Structure 1
Amino acid sequence: MSAKYLPKNNPTVSFWLNHDDPFLKHRSGPQIPDEVDVVIIGSGYSGTSTAYHLQEQNGQLKIAMFEARDICSGATGRNGGHIKPYGHRMYEYYAQAVGEEQAAEIVNSEFEHLWTLKKIIEDNSIDCDFFLTRACDVYPNSEDPRVKKDLAGFYAMLRNPLVKDEFKREIQLLTGDAAKRASKNERTEMAFTYPAASCWPWKLMTGILKKCVDRGLSLHANTPVVSVQQYQGKRWIVKTTRGSTICSKVVYCTNGYTKALLKEFSDTILPVRGVVSSLTPSTGQVVPHLTNTYGFMTDKPQNYYLINRLDGTVIVGGHGESLFTETSDPFEQVLDCVDDSFVNAKSFSVFNKNFMKDKFVTWKNTQIGDVKLWTGIMGFTNDYLPYVGGLECLGYTNAYIVAGFHGHGMPRVWLSGKAIASCIVQDKPIEEIEYTCPRAFFLTHQRVQHENLYRQHLYAKYNFKPKL
């Protein structure tokens, strides 16, 4: 165990966590249980999905969930509130890396998440500000290399007969005046629109977790797991700062913090610090409503994404370049970093009161009154894909992982958690259960050992030579 990579105890406060709901601190009892069937490490999206589906498939299981800080206060409680299937973006990379059949599985699964989450929310009456709309990807610079790249991905995806026709019909390529109208950006010559949604991610996941607790989940906030050790053969003893629990199976839903407990992922899932902001208009104004969610796309790490809330607040995240500015080593505060306790000055200069005016013609006369920023830790993987499956190939029996969602978890995690729950209940490897998540996500020894393409990409982009 590497304590250096455990969650910090003084994180910045996100928009989604700025409230007094006592569930933030929930503990199902004064002590953690002595013994359970399954321990889930992490109370975010991955842990929530895994617990929900375990209970759906076998209501008799005794399950404990340990969270290092407040409930759902990691990446899920700090993201941009965006449920956005990529589809065309990254498609060519997927096709080259895993083939057209598995690339189609990724596209179809992300699209399926929209409707699956919508149904879960409606069936369980979860109040989480879920709003089904369309995403609009905006390309303000027609000469940017990203334009050519994403166009190529779009047309390649359309040619794949295994991608659902429904998604192909729903995605639209707009150019010229049509792109300007949809994007509300004067400089845009091209835009894509496609189905997406926005939500209050903390309320979504805790709405589900509360139901899991009602059905018997033993949930414990501020209970960091410090080690997981083999116990009597195929069982595990999970040690926390509040005692230990023996279990038959353990699930690592640890995302950017995975390397703190699993040394095999030291260069496989890297913690990466990101920044998100909330921009609140001054009171007494008629706030222009944005009909879509948005992404501003470039070939540089200056991409933005944003959602427009019904109360007028805009949540904006991205612009990774604003994080790489204040040290001689441009990576020490971003790459391989779990410190979400601060926001650097450059980020405040990017996410400022003029941000919306500069991007949208409809916001020219609207004043931003309040700007708040926070940081969060994402789990970026060596091959840009999540890790979902059993850890037997690494020598760990009855241990599983759902982690490494590369800053794009909202349209990927739910069915990944379902897959792991199925593995546990059916006592089968992920390759033998009924299909529930893309095969490209399955954990293999070869994938874990693969060179870190993401790290290489950043080093090349910033012309950075790591210290020896």
Structure 2
Amino acid sequence: MGASSSDNVPNATNGDAPVTSSALPVASGGNTSFWRKNLHELDDLRSTEILPETSDVVIVGGGYAGVATAYHLLELGSTASITLVEARGACSGATGRNGGHMRPDLYGHIPKYIKRFGLEIGSSLAEFEIAHVQAIKAVVEKEKIDCEFTLTRTTDVWCDQDAADRAKAVYEMMVGHGLKYMDDVHFTYGQKAAEGVSGIKNAKACTTYTAGTMFPYKFILHLVGLLHKRGLNIQTHTPVTSVTPNEDGSWTVSTPRGHIKAGKVVHATNAYTKALLPEYAKNIVPCKGICCHIAVPQGSTPPHVQNSFIIRESGNPSVLSYLVPRGDGGIVVGGASSIFRPHLEQWYDNIDDTVLIESAKDYYESFMQKNFRGWEDSGARVTDIWTGVMGYSWDSNPHVGHVPGKEGQLIISGFNGHGMPIIWLAAKGLAEMIVRGKGFEETGMPLLLKTTKERIERAQKGPEGGDILA
């Protein structure tokens, strides 16, 4: 969201041997995210006391990607036996530590992709992300998920004049491409107007468009409950230490609690991908981020914040924060990676989500007072602050599909801290590949998401860090 040299990963029951690995999730502890302060009764779920000896499909990872893949497998009518294993509690990784912001990227990175790959391929990613807002709304309503999902407008704000001018040029360029989805984007330029629309001090330009917010932990744990009832075998506190081939084409999934013989293995491990797929070590790098919850003193009424936000600072437009308002008046805000970017050991290739990023831990004190009109005397303060580990892709694109050279293994990882508007439909596409035997191109997923041997090799041969450190 200094690399750890050896992390003990404990398990929930006596007799489970700890695993030592610098690539596996560290033991839970340290700082707890706001979302996980009140744990669900299924957080430590083990559907069966012992691991199944065999399973047609084993999904490694109990966050958004793993749970979404399991959901779509069952929705597509799969009759296969499916086991989901998670190293810690359910939704304890990046999904349970993110900002709850389902915000499609309509024009941020899309111009870069259009320049690299052409208009059709570049814009297809934006259209794919936009589709998630209504897709999540639909599943929340279908499954009656109480996760505080809100359909809203997101407001992008530029407080630096040069950055605002560049944003205006990008907006006009995207409109000039004739992209239909840009009809939903409203652009406001000029300080008086931008401050009026956004409510942000010193705003020089802003845009608004449709997005969503939610309580991510509640969303995932509700699905865990549904899947458990529908026959999914869920095994928390069960770190996978290796996936090895068998002569009959199956795979042995090894854990401290035993082994599972699997026909197919889905790697939904994001920041921890290289632990089981070392060929992705240069492709998907664990990177820490910071997030916090802000509230006014008890008994006070906070000023109303209606939209979600992306705010870029005045004088330092590279400092970006994302923000979502909650129904109770609280605020969840995170980002500010430019503040800690020079301190590589604190965040780059670092999986220790129990330790805050020291160089940024005080950044969000008085954030609302400094940026939002009407909050000057609110007394708002940070009540909770935490870190999480995201999987950053060398070329900025997630890896989804069949793992090259390993028939029967699939991957859905590397979301660059932007998985909320990508994972749900990517998991659906992956499930179609498993259940219906579709090729990647038949699923409707953007080609930029497809994992390939060429992408893997480019990262292995390219400069350290790739787009991550560009």
The two structures have a TM-score, normalised by structure 2, of 0.91
Aligned to 1:384, which of 361, 383, 396? 396
Structure 1 residue 89 corresponds to structure 2 residue 108: yes
Q: Aligned residue for 1:4?
A: 22
Q: Aligned residue for 1:24?
A: 43
2:400–2:450 Cα contact (<8 Å) kept = yes
| Letter aligned with residue 435 of structure 2 | V
**What pairs with 1:197-236 in structure 2 (closer than 5 Å)?**
197-236=212-251
Can you give the 5+ residue segments of structure 1 that lack an aligned partner in the other structure?
461-468
Shift of 1:456: 4.5
1:383–1:454 Cα contact (<8 Å) kept = no
Q: What SS class does the counterpart of residue 332 from structure 2 fall into?
A: strand
Output the CA distance in 2 between the equivalents of 1:312 and 1:251.
39
Output the CA distance in 1 between the equivalents of 2:375 and 2:318.
24
Output the CA distance in 1 between the equivalents of 2:464 and 2:394.
6
Shift of 1:148: 4.4
Q: Aligned residue for 2:258?
A: 243
Structure 1 residue 139 corresponds to structure 2 residue 158: yes
Output the CA distance in 2 between the equivalents of 1:151 and 1:7.
42
Q: Deviations over 1:32-68 (max 9, x none)?
A: 1111110000011111111011001124121000001
Output the CA distance in 2 between the equivalents of 1:456 and 1:205.
31
Range with bigger deviation, 299-308 or 311-320: 299-308
Aligned to 2:176, which of 152, 159, 176? 159
Relative to structure 1, the CA distance from residue 84 to residue 459 in structure 2 (aligned partners, 3 Å threshold; closer, same or farther) is: closer
Aligned to 2:369, which of 347, 357, 377? 357
Range with bigger deviation, 279-288 or 316-325: 316-325
Q: Aligned residue for 2:307?
A: 292
Aligned to 2:378, which of 366, 370, 376? 366
**What pairs with 1:399-414 in structure 2 (closer than 5 Å)?**
399-414=409-424
1:277–1:372 Cα contact (<8 Å) kept = yes
Output the CA distance in 2 between the equivalents of 1:130 and 1:454.
39
Shift of 1:429: 3.0
Shift of 1:459: 5.0
Relative to structure 1, the CA distance from residue 416 to residue 457 in structure 2 (aligned partners, 3 Å threshold; closer, same or farther) is: closer
Output the CA distance in 1 between the equivalents of 2:151 and 2:248.
48
Q: What SS class does the counterpart of residue 237 from structure 1 fall into?
A: strand
Output the CA distance in 2 between the equivalents of 1:445 and 1:343.
35
Can you give the 5+ residue segments of structure 2 that lack an aligned partner in the other structure?
1-18
Q: Aligned residue for 1:334?
A: 347
Aligned to 1:78, which of 81, 97, 100? 97
Q: What SS class does the counterpart of residue 363 from structure 1 fall into?
A: coil
Shift of 1:160: 3.1
Q: Deviations over 1:71-112 (max 9, x none)?
A: 011110000000001101111111122221111210111111
Output the CA distance in 2 between the equivalents of 1:260 and 1:75.
16
Relative to structure 1, the CA distance from residue 3 to residue 150 in structure 2 (aligned partners, 3 Å threshold; closer, same or farther) is: farther
Q: Aligned residue for 1:447?
A: 455
The two structures have a TM-score, normalised by structure 1, of 0.91
| Letter aligned with residue 201 of structure 1 | P
| Letter aligned with residue 117 of structure 1 | I
Q: Aligned residue for 1:466?
A: none
Relative to structure 1, the CA distance from residue 42 to residue 156 in structure 2 (aligned partners, 3 Å threshold; closer, same or farther) is: same
Aligned to 1:281, which of 296, 309, 319? 296
Q: Aligned residue for 2:443?
A: 434
1:25–1:222 Cα contact (<8 Å) kept = yes
1:91–1:157 Cα contact (<8 Å) kept = no
Q: Deviations over 1:233-273 (max 9, x none)?
A: 32111001211111110100011110111111111100000
| Letter aligned with residue 246 of structure 1 | K
Structure 1 residue 415 corresponds to structure 2 residue 425: yes
Output the CA distance in 1 between the equivalents of 2:267 and 2:213.
27
Q: Aligned residue for 1:150?
A: 167
Q: What SS class does the counterpart of residue 389 from structure 1 fall into?
A: strand
Output the CA distance in 2 between the equivalents of 1:397 and 1:233.
12
Shift of 1:280: 1.6
Shift of 1:370: 4.6
Q: What SS class does the counterpart of residue 225 from structure 1 fall into?
A: coil
2:160–2:317 Cα contact (<8 Å) kept = no
Output the CA distance in 1 between the equivalents of 2:417 and 2:363.
20
Output the CA distance in 1 between the equivalents of 2:381 and 2:20.
42
2:292–2:382 Cα contact (<8 Å) kept = no
Q: What SS class does the counterpart of residue 350 from structure 1 fall into?
A: coil
Shift of 1:454: 8.2
Structure 1 residue 168 corresponds to structure 2 residue 182: yes
Output the CA distance in 1 between the equivalents of 2:96 and 2:72.
21
Output the CA distance in 1 between the equivalents of 2:210 and 2:464.
28
| Letter aligned with residue 425 of structure 2 | L
Output the CA distance in 2 between the equivalents of 1:153 and 1:23.
46
Output the CA distance in 2 between the equivalents of 1:99 and 1:191.
27
Relative to structure 1, the CA distance from residue 36 to residue 137 in structure 2 (aligned partners, 3 Å threshold; closer, same or farther) is: same
1:113–1:411 Cα contact (<8 Å) kept = yes
Shift of 1:10: 3.1
Output the CA distance in 2 between the equivalents of 1:22 and 1:360.
37
Q: Deviations over 1:357-385 (max 9, x none)?
A: 00101211211255211010001101111
Output the CA distance in 1 between the equivalents of 2:364 and 2:257.
40
Q: Aligned residue for 1:309?
A: 326
